[in-house]
Amino acid sequence: MLKLVARIFIGVLSGVGVLAIATLVWLVSSGMSARRAPSALETWVGARVRSFAIPASDRQMHDPATSADPAEMRSAREQFTDHCAVCHAHDGSGQTDIGRRLSPRPPDMRTDLTQSLTDGEIFHIINDGVRFTGMPAWNHEARQTWALVGFIRHLPKVTKAELDDMRGIPAGTRSAKPAATPTSTAKTGRAAADRRAR
């Protein structure tokens, strides 16, 4: 029995070693340049890792209807214009000068890649950012983040009038800044928002 366990352990260790060497060879041969678009495999793996890394409690959160308020939606459009549009574009397509140069590229937020995420996953991504990408963590109040979640849900139906309105909002009009370090404020705001949603 001990020999079988040792063989399995050595087999698993060997497999991990081969995978690590293959990854290193791939990185050295293809480089780490952001000029090359990520492969379909990289995109698929990245999406799975991101989803796996979001805590289950966050995935299960629901928008507490903040986005139904027209004033909150106006505020969300302003937030999106000021903080998100530089990479994601006003329409959520990701087709901006900066967005096209990031690796991985910002997703087209109008498609299922984003729209199939739960409200809580989108909230988490906005609040906590995504490592190894250009997505920062933001210090929004929970209600502002929920309004952004609602606006992101609205992107597939965004109107020309709304886009024109967003393009008329001067940059730098909003005060939230990317989070410098993890804070308990985001978790506290998230917990409060989750309690209100129940």
Give, for all 198 residues of the chain, the pLDDT tens digit. Answer: 778 888 888 988 888 888 888 777 766 776 767 777 777 887 788 888 888 889 999 999 988 876 677 888 888 999 999 999 999 999 999 999 999 999 888 999 999 989 999 999 999 999 999 988 899 999 888 989 999 999 999 999 999 988 988 888 765 555 455 555 444 444 445 554 444 444
Radius of gyration for the chain, computed over Cα atoms and rounded to the nearest angstrom: 20
Question: What local confidence, expressed as pLDDT, does residue 116 receive?
Answer: 94
Question: What local confidence, expressed as pLDDT, does residue 26 receive?
Answer: 67
Question: What local confidence, expressed as pLDDT, does residue 47 receive?
Answer: 81
CB 79, CB 145: distance < 8 Å = no
The reported pTM is 0.71
Question: What local confidence, expressed as pLDDT, does residue 19 receive?
Answer: 82
Question: What local confidence, expressed as pLDDT, does residue 7 receive?
Answer: 86
Question: What local confidence, expressed as pLDDT, does residue 81 receive?
Answer: 93
Out of 3.60.70, 1.10.760, 2.40.320, 3.30.70, the CATH code matching 58-197 is 1.10.760
CB atoms within 10 A of CB 44: 11
Pairwise CA distance, residues 163 & 104, whole Å? 25
Angle at the Cα of 114 (from 54 to 181), degrees rounded to 5? 40
Question: What local confidence, expressed as pLDDT, does residue 180 receive?
Answer: 56
Question: What local confidence, expressed as pLDDT, does residue 186 receive?
Answer: 47
Question: What local confidence, expressed as pLDDT, does residue 191 receive?
Answer: 52
Angle at the Cα of 46 (from 43 to 51), degrees rounded to 5? 125
